[in-house]
């Protein structure tokens, strides 16, 4: 019985985890912000930490959340902020972090395929040159803030 309880604890803890690790890469607190539950666009945010001894190369994302998803950046040109898709892969040096956040790098989801609810968990795959990490984006609708536990 004790073994069953310990196994159940680890299974439940893993299923609600909001941090994903593989081959020296950690992805923390992925969220998908949407203005409305039936919105067709959203933005994905998270943190990548390179715990390995080698640089890592982020090349994209796969998911069925939307018809199209792109890695974007926000740049300032002549005092005006503009959002645009990245033309090159992102490199994260050993021991460094890359934070996807508003007015910076983020994932844009275009053509979100159905309505969602707060705290829903949506599958995605973050693709690196030599690695793929399965994650779940936590849905946040409206002005709800993501709280770390």
Query: Would you say residue 23 has pLDDT above 70?
Result: yes
pLDDT the model gives residue 145: 59
Say what the pTM is: 0.83
Mean confidence (pLDDT) of the chain: 88
Q: List Cα–Cα distances, 139 to 13, 48, 79, 84, 134, in angstroms.
A: 19, 19, 32, 23, 16
Instruction: Determine how many CB atoms are found less than 10 A away from the CB of residue 140.
Output: 19
SS3 39: coil
Task: Classify domain 19-141 at the CATH topology level.
Answer: Immunoglobulin-like (2.60.40)
Domain boundaries, the chain: 19-141
The whole-angstrom distance between residue 70's C-alpha and the CA centroid of its chain comes to: 12
CA–CA separation, 34 and 143 (whole Å): 9
Distance CA 72, CA 23 (A): 25
pLDDT in tens, 94-145: 999 999 999 999 999 999 999 999 999 999 999 999 999 999 999 999 976 5
What pLDDT score does 21 carry?
A: 97
């Amino acid at each position: 019985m004790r073994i069953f309880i310990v196994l159940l604890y680890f299974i439940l803890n893993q299923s609600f985890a909001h941090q994903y690790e593989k081959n020296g890469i950690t992805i923390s607190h992925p969220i998908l912000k949407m203005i409305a539950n039936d919105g067709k666009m959203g933005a994905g945010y998270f943190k990548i930490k390179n715990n390995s001894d080698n640089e890592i190369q982020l090349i994209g994302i796969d998911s069925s959340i939307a018809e199209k998803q792109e890695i974007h950046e926000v740049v300032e040109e002549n005092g005006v902020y503009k959002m645009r898709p990245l033309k090159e892969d992102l490199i994260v040096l050993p021991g460094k972090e890359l934070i996807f956040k508003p007015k910076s790098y983020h994932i844009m989801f275009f053509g979100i395929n159905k309505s969602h609810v707060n705290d829903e968990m949506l599958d995605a795959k973050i693709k690196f040159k030599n690695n793929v990490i399965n994650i779940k984006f936590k849905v946040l609708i409206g002005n709800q803030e993501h709280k770390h536990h």
